[in-house]
Amino acid sequence: MKIFGIDPGSNRTGYGCIDYSGSQHRLVTYGAIATPPRASFPEKLRCIHSELVTLLATHQPACVAVESLFHARNVQSVLKLGHARGVAVLAAAQAGVTLVEYTPSEIKRAVVGYGRAEKQQVQQMIKLLLELDDIPTPHDAADALAVAICHAHQLTPSGTISADSVAGRPKQRNWRKVKPENLTTRGPS
């Protein structure tokens, strides 16, 4: 089963495709879509979308796995990342493939075994799991391969998502039901 992983970014979007046979990972391709530095933001999004559409048509994966948004302090960065992620989701939808999303901690836990693993640890595990001579570069490509491997580790031998992996995922929180008095705040460390 071919799994296509995407690590979205507005300046550089990583991608990686693996073939997973139930017990082995085999590298198909990886790289990064670098947008022109002086291009307008809409032009960067068009570039990302266009390249992803071409890559998905070329490799014809069974599914696409995307890293979901994480919390950041800079609102502008999160908005730009959300737009880049949106065009990646659109490309997958247009290709007619299944789309799955994983948080950064789920990806790290699936690849390294620890949800707070360092980037270097993830890259080293990618190298080992795919039996590569070197760590994939740029880091965005290694991250995309980690997303694809994370999804592979959630599958049963028949290629469906295992019930254990769904049960182990944290439940989505409905923030409208959270009462302010139930929240704890942290002071400066």
Residues that are catalytic: 7, 67, 140
Q: Summarize pLDDT for 117-160 with one digit per residue, the tens.
A: 999 999 999 999 999 999 999 999 999 999 999 999 998 655 56
Nearest to 101 by CA among 159, 154, 157, 40: 154
**Alpha-carbon span 50 to 28, nearest angstrom:** 20
pLDDT tens by residue, 12-24? 999 999 999 988 9
Question: Three-state DSSP class for 170?
Answer: coil
C-alpha torsion angle, residues 95, 99, 103, 104 (rounded to 10):
-40
pLDDT in tens, 64-110: 999 987 666 788 888 999 999 999 999 999 999 999 999 999 999 99
What is the set of domains in the chain, with CATH numbers?
2-182 (3.30.420.10)
